[in-house]
C-alpha cells in the first residue's frame, strides 16, 4: 500500500500543525521498529510531500525491515511564499504528484484545499475552522478564497480526523458534515515538554531572559483570539489593588510582536504602556521551543484565557510541567483540562482577575492543580493518535 502524507508543515516546527506533522512521522518510524502490529504498517510505503527538506533524525535508526519513506520536495512555478503559492501547491501540484506516485491513500495532516483524484482515498486532519467562526481572520480575498476552497475539500474527503469533540461538533453544525465520516483523535505535545527540566536548564533559561522564578506567565501566540489583552487588564486590576502584596509577582508575556498586523494581532507593547504596567511586565517576544519547558516550569501560574481553540496545545504543555493553569471554559479547552485546571469567563476581565487572585493566594490549590495537571497530561499520547489514524487508513483499503 502506498500512503501519501502532506508533510508541508514540517518546515514550521514552531507551530502546532508543525509539531503534529513531525511527531506523527516520528511515531510511525518508532512503531515500524517495534514488534507492535499496526495495520500491516511494514507493508506500507510512505511518500512525504513537502516544500522544503527537513532532517528527521530518528530515520537513522530505521531497520531494513521497517517502513519505507520517499521524500517529494517540490514547488509550483510560482515560488513566492504566500497564500497564492500555498493554494497552487495544495490544490493542484500535490494531487497531481500523488496520482503520479500511485498513492492508494493520502493523509493531509491539516485542513487545506486539497482534493484527491477518486482513485485515491483521502483522510484530512481538522484542527479548527476558525475563519468560519471568526470572519475577521479572513480579511482579504486571498484568505476568503483559501477558506472556501478548504471547506469545499473537507466535504470531498473520504474521512476526517477532528482533534477534539468541539471541532467535530463545529464541522457538523457549521459545515453540515456527516458525523459518520468524522473520527475524534486527540493530538499530543512534543516530547520536549514531557521531560523533567533540570536545575541547570532552568538557570540557563532564566538568565537568558533575565527572569526570576515565580512569575505569572502567558504565551501561545498574540493574535486577538488568544485574548492576551484581557490578561494584561486583569493583571492591572490586581496590581492596582495589591501592588505591594508579596503574592503578586511580575507578569511575563511571550509571543512574536507584530503590531503591523493589528487588529488581528494584539500590540502588547502599546497595551502595556497604555495601562502603565511597564515596570511589572516582561515582554519576551518570540521564544524558541527549546526554552519553553523551563519557561513553563518556573512560572507560578500559566494564564491562557483564549476565546477559542480547536485543541489547546499550550494548556497541555503547561500541565506536563506541573504549572497550575487558568484557562477558558469555552471551545475545546474543558476537554483538555477537565478538572485539573481552573476556568474563567474569557469575556470578563474581573472574573479572570478573581480567579488569578484565588490561585496566587492559595498554596494548597496551586499544589493540587500541579499534581492533577501532570496526571491529566498522561491521558494524551502520540501512540493513540497515530494508531487511530492508521486504523482509518487500513479500513479504507479493505
Which comes out higher in pLDDT, residue 64 or 285? 285
Tell me, what's the pLDDT at 60?
A: 47
- Rounded CA-CA distance 130/134 in Å is 6
Tell me the average pLDDT across 166-194. 96
Cell numbers 532552568: residue: 202
Read off the pLDDT of residues 345-354 as tens digits, 9 standing for 90 and up: 999 999 999 9
- Rounded CA-CA distance 306/323 in Å is 17
Of 33-37, 264-268, 306-310, 349-353, the poorest mean pLDDT is in 33-37
Please, which pLDDT band fits residue 66 given cuts at 50, 70 and 90?
A: low
Is pLDDT at 231 greater than 50 in this prediction? yes
Read off the pLDDT of residues 271-329 as tens digits, 9 standing for 90 and up: 999 999 999 999 999 999 999 999 999 999 999 999 999 999 999 999 999 999 999 99
Is pLDDT at 261 greater than 80 in this prediction? no
Residue ranges of the domains in the chain?
2-188+381-396, 191-377
- Rounded CA-CA distance 287/209 in Å is 9
Please, which pLDDT band fits residue 211 given cuts at 50, 70 and 90?
A: very high
Is pLDDT at 233 greater than 80 in this prediction? yes
Read off the pLDDT of residues 109-156 as tens digits, 9 standing for 90 and up: 999 999 999 999 999 999 999 999 999 888 899 999 999 999 999 999
Please, which pLDDT band fits residue 15 given cuts at 50, 70 and 90?
A: confident
Domains 2-188+381-396 and 191-377 are alike in CATH topology: yes
Peptide bond into 263 cis (omega under 30): yes
Tell me, what's the pLDDT at 62?
A: 46
Report the CATH superfamily, name and number, of domain 191-377. Answer: Glycogen Phosphorylase B; (3.40.50.2000)
Tell me, what's the pLDDT at 42?
A: 60
Tell me, what's the pLDDT at 32?
A: 67
| Cα–Cα distances in angstroms (integers) from residue 60 to residues 33, 156, 192, 338, in the given order | 11, 37, 20, 39
Read off the pLDDT of residues 91-107 as tens digits, 9 standing for 90 and up: 999 999 999 999 999 99
Tell me, what's the pLDDT at 28?
A: 86
Which comes out higher in pLDDT, residue 271 or 57? 271
Please, which pLDDT band fits residue 75 given cuts at 50, 70 and 90?
A: very high
> Per CATH, which fold does 2-188+381-396 belong to?
Rossmann fold (3.40.50)
Cell numbers 491529566: residue: 376
Tell me the average pLDDT across 218-240. 96
Amino acid at each position: 500500500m502506498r500512503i501519501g502524507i502532506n508533510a508541508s508543515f514540517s518546515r514550521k516546527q514552531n507551530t502546532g500543525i508543525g509539531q503534529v506533522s513531525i511527531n506523527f512521522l516520528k511515531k510511525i518510524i518508532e512503531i515500524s521498529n517495534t514488534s507492535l502490529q499496526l495495520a500491516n504498517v511494514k507493508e506500507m510505503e510512505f511518500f512525504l510531500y513537502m516544500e522544503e527538506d527537513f532532517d528527521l533524525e530518528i530515520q537513522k535508526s530505521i531497520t531494513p525491515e521497517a517502513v519505507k519513506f520517499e521524500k517529494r520536495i517540490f514547488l509550483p512555478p510560482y515560488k513566492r511564499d504566500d497564500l497564492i503559492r500555498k493554494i497552487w501547491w495544495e490544490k493542484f501540484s500535490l494531487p497531481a504528484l500523488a496520482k503520479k506516485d500511485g498513492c492508494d491513500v493520502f493523509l493531509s495532516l491539516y485542513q487545506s484545499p486539497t482534493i484527491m483524484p477518486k482513485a485515491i482515498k483521502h483522510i484530512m486532519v481538522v484542527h479548527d475552522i476558525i475563519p468560519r467562526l471568526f470572519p475577521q481572520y479572513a480579511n482579504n480575498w486571498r484568505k476568503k478564497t483559501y477558506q472556501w476552497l478548504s471547506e469545499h475539500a473537507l466535504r470531498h474527503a473520504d474521512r476526517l480526523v477532528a482533534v477534539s469533540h468541539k471541532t467535530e461538533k463545529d464541522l457538523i453544525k457549521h459545515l453540515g458534515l456527516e458525523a459518520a465520516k468524522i473520527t475524534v483523535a486527540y493530538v499530543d505535545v512534543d516530547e520536549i515538554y514531557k521531560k523533567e527540566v533540570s536545575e541547570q536548564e532552568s538557570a540557563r533559561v532564566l538568565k537568558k531572559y533575565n527572569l526570576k522564578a515565580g512569575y505569572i506567565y502567558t504565551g501561545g501566540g498574540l493574535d486577538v483570539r488568544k485574548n492576551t489583552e484581557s490578561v494584561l487588564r486583569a493583571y492591572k486590576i490586581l496590581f492596582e489593588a495589591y501592588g505591594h502584596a508579596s503574592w503578586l509577582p511580575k507578569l511575563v508575556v511571550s509571543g512574536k510582536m507584530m503590531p503591523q498586523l493589528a487588529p488581528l494581532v494584539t500590540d502588547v507593547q502599546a497595551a502595556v504602556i497604555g495601562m502603565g504596567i511597564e515596570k511589572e511586565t516582561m515582554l519576551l517576544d518570540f521564544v524558541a521551543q527549546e526554552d519553553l519547558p523551563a519557561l513553563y516550569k518556573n512560572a507560578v501560574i500559566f494564564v491562557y484565557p483564549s476565546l477559542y481553540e480547536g485543541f489547546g496545545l499550550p494548556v497541555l504543555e503547561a500541565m506536563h510541567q506541573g504549572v497550575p493553569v487558568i484557562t477558558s471554559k469555552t471551545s475545546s479547552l474543558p476537554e483538555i483540562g477537565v478538572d485539573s485546571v481552573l476556568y474563567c469567563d474569557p469575556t470578563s476581565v474581573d472574573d479572570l482577575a478573581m480567579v488569578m487572585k484565588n490561585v496566587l493566594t492559595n498554596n494548597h490549590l496551586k499544589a493540587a492543580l500541579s499534581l492533577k495537571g501532570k496526571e491529566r497530561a498522561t491521558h494524551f499520547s502520540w501512540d493513540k493518535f497515530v494508531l487511530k489514524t492508521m486504523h482509518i487508513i487500513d479500513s479504507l483499503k479493505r
